[in-house]
Amino acid sequence: MTAVNRRDRPRISPGLRLGGAPVSRRTGLIAALAAGGAALVAFPVVVSAPWMVNIGLFTLMYAALASAWNLVGGYAGYPSLGHAAFFGIGAYTEAIWWTHRSAGSGYGPFWTLPLVGLVAAALAVPVAWIAMRTRADVFAIVTITLLFVVQTLAFNLRGLTGGAQGLAMPVAPFAPDTFERPFYYAMLVLFAAALALSYAVLRSRLGLALVAVRADEDKARGVGVPVTAAKLTAFAVSVAVTAMAGGVWAYYLSFIYPQFAIDPLLSIGMVLMVFLGGRGTLWGPVLGAFVVAPTQQYLAYRFGASQLYLIAYAALFVVIMLLMPRGALPTWTDWRRRRTAGVRT
């Protein structure tokens, strides 16, 4: 055997694990996640102002929705513009189930959320099986058409949805001073579930299949990737989380109207947040939601019912497309890699 010069042998830094990321970086990430999670849990206890807890609640809702949308629009590359339809289906499923029932201690409607998610997923599979025969722009048009179909049904099925007069749910019997807190924690659980599902998918065979579909669906099918099963699974999981968020939203407001439960701006908000943070990444949708949602809610409080925030939506979309077409996190990662490569050379 040829002797190997000691200087040519691979060196293992004390901060590295074999086959893994740097221990220091991994430890720092775990510490940051623990601190962030603790801050989110403590937020409604430390902050007493109801309007601020309300902003936190809607921020978590949009973070869960954006992470759920990313499973289809980011990982698989199918830009759905109709997710608000399933948000509304979840809201109406929750409301219809509890319209003539007592909420008891107030926590009953939270326990029915998994059932709401299953109902929405069951309805979504045949729809996705048809819609996902199309791709890209055509798929986006098909899904936004679905949104308006569901909204029209909500307006016209008066015996079921209440039509334009709306549908009431039992008002939650929580203390007025802490009324928002249970809904905040329910949204926090949904956000954590959406993030955990995204992480699990990203590190699974399903995630590899979805990335292959996004890169080249025909080649993926040709090499044996179960394309149809992967797409339908991702869509069903995404829709289930979206519908459960709609159920919490309906119970929180206790009275829902079709134009608000099935709002195209809800879908636009999800897409904007994902594109801002970075489509197809784990933390991109979260970053986008934590930037856009509090700003939008604050503007709504500040300017009332005015639609000025829509101008900000449009301007932000234009800036993203021009300066960061891949999103903030991928752009930052690319810049850091170039900088590191420049330092090494």
Cβ atoms 70, 280 nearer than 8 A: yes
CA–CA distance, 13 with 337 (Å, rounded to integer)? 20
Q: Side chain identity at 97, as an amino acid letter? A: W
CA–CA distance, 94 with 115 (Å, rounded to integer)? 9
**Chain centre distance of CA 27:** 26
Whole-number pLDDT of residue 319: 78
**Distance set, CA 169 to CA 89, 100, 156, 166, 247 (Å):** 15, 8, 19, 10, 11
Nearest to 78 by CA among 140, 148, 133: 140
Query: Which two three-digit tokens encode residue 305?
Result: 């019912």
Helix/strand/coil for 229: helix
Backbone angles phi and psi of 52, in degrees to 5:
-75, -40
CA–CA distance, 183 with 64 (Å, rounded to integer)? 14
Calculate mean pLDDT across residues 57-69.
Answer: 96
Partners of residue 340 on adjacent β-strands: none
Question: Which of the two residues, 105 and 202, has the higher pLDDT score?
Answer: 202
pLDDT digits (tens, 9 = 90+) for 182-199: 999 999 999 999 999 999
pLDDT digits (tens, 9 = 90+) for 145-196: 999 999 999 999 999 999 999 999 888 999 988 999 999 999 999 999 999 9
DSSP 305: T
Q: How far apart are the first and last CA of the chain?
A: 34
Nearest to 104 by CA among 181, 175, 176, 172: 172
pLDDT digits (tens, 9 = 90+) for 75-116: 999 999 999 999 999 999 999 999 877 777 889 999 999 999
| Average pLDDT value for the chain | 86
- Per cent of the chain over pLDDT 70 is 89
Residue 62: which residues within 8 A CB-CB, separation 6 or more? Answer: 269, 270, 273, 289, 292, 293
Classify residue 68 as exposed, middle or buried by CB count within 10 Å of its CB (0-12, 13-18, 19+). buried
Backbone angles phi and psi of 171, in degrees to 5:
-75, 130
pLDDT of 303 above 80: no
Domains and CATH numbers, the chain: 46-325 (1.10.3470)
- The model's pTM: 0.88
Cβ atoms 261, 154 nearer than 8 A: yes
Nearest to 280 by CA among 73, 64, 128: 73
pLDDT of 320 above 90: no
pLDDT digits (tens, 9 = 90+) for 270-282: 999 999 999 999 9
